Structure 1
Amino acid sequence: MRSFNIAFLAAILSLEAHAVPHSNRKVSVGTGLLVETTSGNIQGFINHTAPDVRQFLGVPFAEPPVGQLRFAKPQAKQPNGTVKALTLPNSCMQQFDSSSSTIYTEYETGFLVSGGNSEDCLYLSIWAPKVENIQSQQRPLPVLLYIPGGGFTSGGQASLYKIPDKWVQRTQSHIVVIMNYRVNLFGFPNAKGLEDQNVGLLDQRLAVEWVRDNIGNFGGDTKRITLWGQSAGAGSVSVYPYGYPEDPIVAGLIADSGGPGIVNYDLAQTNFTTLAGLVGCDGLGSEEELSCVRKVPAQTLENALSYYSGNGTSPSMAFKPVVDNKVVFSNWTERLTNGKVAKTPMIIGSNTNEGAGFVSFTPEGPGDEALAAATKIISCPVAAEAQNRYIGDLPTYRYQYAGNFSNISPLPWFGAYHSSELPLLFGTHSEYRSQSTSFEWDVSYAMEALWLSFAEDPTRGPARLALGNTAANPNNASYFAWPKFQQGASDMLLIAEGEKLMQLVSSESIDTSCSV
């Protein structure tokens, strides 16, 4: 305890700490707001909405991937003066589809990213308790390092439903870090002239390395980093242990609604050449083509890709993770049976009505059959990975989320759609539409407790105490330990089905539907 306090104070209090005023925020003066990192000194702030949380928003972990670094492997950020980390960073260049109408564009806009986008986007943001509250702990705090979703085409930190300041304010027992990474063409170019095709996934790895090297100065435990993601972020988390079997760095993995099956196959590498032709770089060799496209303005590239895809032009063109046999592989089971996967414990699961997030929006919905088919886009890769991990004897905790709350799912057919669990996990469910119900708060607290319990000690597995009501736990006890997933057993945790907070059930219905 004493050695931790001395090291921690030396790291974050040796610098004079002043909060820097920022428009639209009531900033307080506090300790630990100027932190030394490998990217330079980072200036954070504390505001009145979360007065016990230090926020460091927009911390660079890589050099801007522009010019010759466009499409290239990320380079670690070199110090260049104090970074005023006071606002969420720009998102990476976003692919858009103006012709698409979904539940997110019509009702759930809080899941979409706000603010600007830029090629200079490789930043992360940190939410940590105040120094004095960390000092009262017996050890440095567990860290949740979050990878946002967005289908590998869009996404970023700046969306309402996944801002964790109030969660950290309430618990004072963990640190949350959210990263940006390059998406679409900029993250997954798959160009013939490149050595690395999945540079967006390499961005994620560099962010993990940055957190390992620096989070101790914010009060975090470098040996208790849990890599967590949702949707494409979950797909990223699930492929991660296959790419770094000997040095995963992280102690735990959490994959909400995503598995390794979410990859793109462009073996002929024609997509990049097609796009190059749209921006005046046609008829060139691979090196000349790459050099030409690197000189085209980023927004011109993004517009060309978005309009081509949005208009349904044939042949289709997509830029997502591709098999490179470095970080993405063609046969995950073979990789596992050959022992080339980190044995990192994982929570993995999906939602009961994922498909509502993928169909075109109509007020009355597309019908049960269409929703069930679209739900398989997520549930089947999740089921396959859970089964794969069971075969490989990798510690796995499987869940299904069924919550259906009117402030999050305002139309009856929305149900537990893709991403709908995030407001409960981040503690933001009460910030929009109608008030949250008491049951909704119970579900939120229970899920947060399990995710945090896992982050505290992934080798132990998730566990929680009852919320003053033994009926809140599947085994009717005051203490619930989530059992490891075993194929064929009733050990999948079903969350918020009807009025039941948690229950252990079989995954057979999901798995059988995926085999049809």
Structure 2
Amino acid sequence: MNTELQLASGTIRGERGADGLTVFRGVPYAHAARFTPPKPVEPWTGVFDATRPGPISPQPPVRPDAVMGPPQAGLRQDEDCLNLTVVTPGVNGPRPVMVWIHGGAYVTGASSFGFYEGRRLAAEGGIVFVAINYRLGALGYLKLPGVAPGNLGLLDQVAALRWIRENIGNFGGDPDRVTVFGQSAGAHSVACLMAAPAARGLFRQAILQSAPLGLKLATPARAARVARHFTTALRAEVTTAPVEAILAAQDAAIQRVSGPGGLASPPFCPTAGTDALPGADRWTAEAAGAGVDVMIGTTSAEMNGFLNGKPFSERIERVPLVGRRGLETVKRLATRRVFETPSLRFADTLARAGRRVFTYRFGWAASGSIFGACHCVELPFLLGEREAWAGAPMLAGADWDDIEEIGRPLRQAWISFARGGSPGSAAHVPGSGPGRIWTGPVPSPDSPAEVM
């Protein structure tokens, strides 16, 4: 059944399901030409069809396929990709709002992938769920003087939050109760938004899932080096080159800066001291002063998602004096240094600034998976439907009914926090040992093992 809704920019048509939820897909929140900041959408005439997903940012194949499974097929790629999805239980609000920002190393991904469907959160929590698409890779984060200002993907996210503040009431959402949450690069984006003056007042709570805060922000010098590699590989006019050429040059720059493994800080990512971010010496303090309450955590074996399986494990195991045992040590140290310890230090900084802070660690692992409690493993418990996750190698051997059982209290913890409360005891999932989620006072950042 189709449902029409009136916005300031025009009428949109969404789709109401048998579960009572209405979904509006591909809703434009801004428009931008290549390498220009986002601008508000122009009003349209007639009815905008929001029953189908909008285009996603041009990108190479999604790297986490080997862990999460293949993403949703058939989504069109286009530079005009500034759109979002809204899932609402009804327009009779005001309801809390949860805004999802996807990950993908700032190079791949889309919030319109089936992985990130928010129906369960909307239905179980009575919340309005929003998922945003933004510009990725060179199109979103190239910093090239006179051509590309940098941080355009982050500015897209700010524009989406402004659109949500102005329009979410029409969907039954409360613009004064917005929680932004994201995973991986999406969580890193959330931390950046907390530090961005332009985003002040647009959300009051944040959830950071597996934020790679140990990779920090790009410096202007590093961004300039990436730009040199990019333009050298492109060999064409940056503003008019075909998007296929942009992606090829982007890949070449990534290979030059990060190496074949691509496990260093993403070359195309937010740059400190560039609109809308403060300098690297101030961004943590700015985030702490944003007045945002936070829930932050990691999985217990983040790096398994990057270093387990071929080709990474075989390559590292062949290195002299490393081998299989050394690889396990590398994974533990990298998990701690890239994800766990910096997340706890960030939490500690926020707590000292007087914010409410909750921490967690997710340790569930599928019985038949080589990946264990890896990067991304908590996502099926929160987002997406059975069909979207059916081919996920990280879930090998798991029964979806068990995922549903464990996921229900986990989702309730996220929902309780979004409603302005505490995740509390709802975050203790059934079972014991590594399947337990922990929340509570912020542990010492120097002893991350205490989280469990």
Separation in structure 1 between the aligned mates of residue 84 and residue 225 of structure 2, nearest angstrom: 32
Separation in structure 1 between the aligned mates of residue 376 and residue 352 of structure 2, nearest angstrom: 28
* Correspondence list, 1:311-460, <5 A: 318-324=267-273, 326-331=275-280, 334=282, 341-359=289-307, 361-362=309-310, 367-376=327-336, 377-406=338-367, 410-411=368-369, 413-426=370-383, 428=385, 432=390, 436=399, 440-457=403-420, 460=421
Separation in structure 2 between the aligned mates of residue 234 and residue 206 of structure 1, nearest angstrom: 17
Separation in structure 2 between the aligned mates of residue 265 and residue 337 of structure 1, nearest angstrom: 17
Query: CA contact under 8 A between 1:113 and 1:156: conserved in structure 2?
Result: no
Query: CA contact under 8 A between 1:140 and 1:216: conserved in structure 2?
Result: yes
Separation in structure 2 between the aligned mates of residue 500 and residue 209 of structure 1, nearest angstrom: 37
TM-score by length of 2: 0.83
Question: Are 2:434 and 1:498 aligned?
Answer: yes
Question: Are 2:209 and 1:248 aligned?
Answer: no
Which residue is 1:23 aligned to? Answer: none
Partner letter of residue 193 of structure 2?
Y
After superposition, the C-alpha distances for 1:205-227 in whole angstroms (9 at most, x for unaligned) are 00001011111001111111111
Q: Please, which moves more after superposition, 501-510 or 111-120?
A: 501-510
Query: CA contact under 8 A between 2:406 and 2:429: conserved in structure 1?
Result: no
Separation in structure 1 between the aligned mates of residue 193 and residue 346 of structure 2, nearest angstrom: 13
Runs of at least 5 residues in structure 2 that lack an aligned partner in the other structure:
314-323, 392-396
Label 1:497 to 1:193 Cα distance change in 2 as closer, same or farther (>3 A): farther
Which residue is 1:151 aligned to? Answer: 105
Query: CA contact under 8 A between 1:246 and 1:342: conserved in structure 2?
Result: no
Query: CA contact under 8 A between 2:273 and 2:280: conserved in structure 1?
Result: no
Runs of at least 5 residues in structure 1 that lack an aligned partner in the other structure:
1-27, 282-291, 474-494
Offset, 1:383? 2.3
Label 1:496 to 1:147 Cα distance change in 2 as closer, same or farther (>3 A): farther
Offset, 1:394? 2.1
Question: Are 2:228 and 1:273 aligned?
Answer: yes
Which residue is 1:118 aligned to? Answer: 78
Query: CA contact under 8 A between 2:211 and 2:298: conserved in structure 1?
Result: yes
Which residue is 1:301 aligned to? Answer: 246
Separation in structure 1 between the aligned mates of residue 272 and residue 131 of structure 2, nearest angstrom: 26
Separation in structure 2 between the aligned mates of residue 177 and residue 205 of structure 1, nearest angstrom: 14
Label 1:371 to 1:428 Cα distance change in 2 as closer, same or farther (>3 A): farther
Query: Secondary structure of 1:399's partner?
Result: strand
Label 1:368 to 1:465 Cα distance change in 2 as closer, same or farther (>3 A): closer
Query: CA contact under 8 A between 1:236 and 1:260: conserved in structure 2?
Result: no
Separation in structure 2 between the aligned mates of residue 34 and residue 442 of structure 1, nearest angstrom: 35
Partner letter of residue 305 of structure 2?
G
Query: Secondary structure of 1:57's partner?
Result: strand
Query: Secondary structure of 1:323's partner?
Result: coil
Which residue is 2:319 aligned to? Answer: none
Query: CA contact under 8 A between 1:429 and 1:436: conserved in structure 2?
Result: no
Separation in structure 1 between the aligned mates of residue 304 and residue 286 of structure 2, nearest angstrom: 38
Label 1:146 to 1:59 Cα distance change in 2 as closer, same or farther (>3 A): same
Separation in structure 2 between the aligned mates of residue 308 and residue 501 of structure 1, nearest angstrom: 39
Label 1:422 to 1:246 Cα distance change in 2 as closer, same or farther (>3 A): closer
Label 1:157 to 1:256 Cα distance change in 2 as closer, same or farther (>3 A): same
Query: CA contact under 8 A between 1:161 and 1:429: conserved in structure 2?
Result: no
Which residue is 2:87 aligned to? Answer: 127
Greater share of helix residues, 1 or 2? Answer: 2
Query: Secondary structure of 1:451's partner?
Result: helix
Label 1:178 to 1:321 Cα distance change in 2 as closer, same or farther (>3 A): same
Label 1:175 to 1:297 Cα distance change in 2 as closer, same or farther (>3 A): same
Which residue is 1:231 aligned to? Answer: 184
Separation in structure 1 between the aligned mates of residue 247 and residue 286 of structure 2, nearest angstrom: 40
Separation in structure 2 between the aligned mates of residue 432 and residue 242 of structure 1, nearest angstrom: 37
Separation in structure 2 between the aligned mates of residue 499 and residue 60 of structure 1, nearest angstrom: 40
Partner letter of residue 414 of structure 1?
F
Which residue is 2:94 aligned to? Answer: 140
Which residue is 2:26 aligned to? Answer: 58
Label 1:243 to 1:276 Cα distance change in 2 as closer, same or farther (>3 A): same
Partner letter of residue 450 of structure 1?
A
Return the structure number with greater relative CO, CA threshold 8 A, min gap 6.
2
After superposition, the C-alpha distances for 1:179-223 in whole angstroms (9 at most, x for unaligned) are 011111011111111573211100000000101111100111111
Query: Secondary structure of 2:405's partner?
Result: helix
Label 1:336 to 1:277 Cα distance change in 2 as closer, same or farther (>3 A): closer
* Correspondence list, 1:256-267, <5 A: 256-258=209-211, 260-261=213-214, 262-267=216-221
Offset, 1:455? 1.0
Separation in structure 1 between the aligned mates of residue 275 and residue 238 of structure 2, nearest angstrom: 25
Which residue is 1:480 aligned to? Answer: none
Separation in structure 2 between the aligned mates of residue 244 and residue 364 of structure 1, nearest angstrom: 40
Which protein shows a greater Rg? 1
Query: Secondary structure of 1:498's partner?
Result: helix
Separation in structure 1 between the aligned mates of residue 259 and residue 286 of structure 2, nearest angstrom: 40
**Partner of residue 76 from structure 1, selected from 40, 55, 61:** 40
Question: Are 2:57 and 1:92 aligned?
Answer: yes
Offset, 1:502? 4.8
Which residue is 1:485 aligned to? Answer: none
After superposition, the C-alpha distances for 1:407-427 in whole angstroms (9 at most, x for unaligned) are xxx32x411111110110126
% same residue: 23
TM-score by length of 1: 0.73
After superposition, the C-alpha distances for 1:258-315 in whole angstroms (9 at most, x for unaligned) are 155532235161322332233334xxxxxxxxxx311111121112222454588989
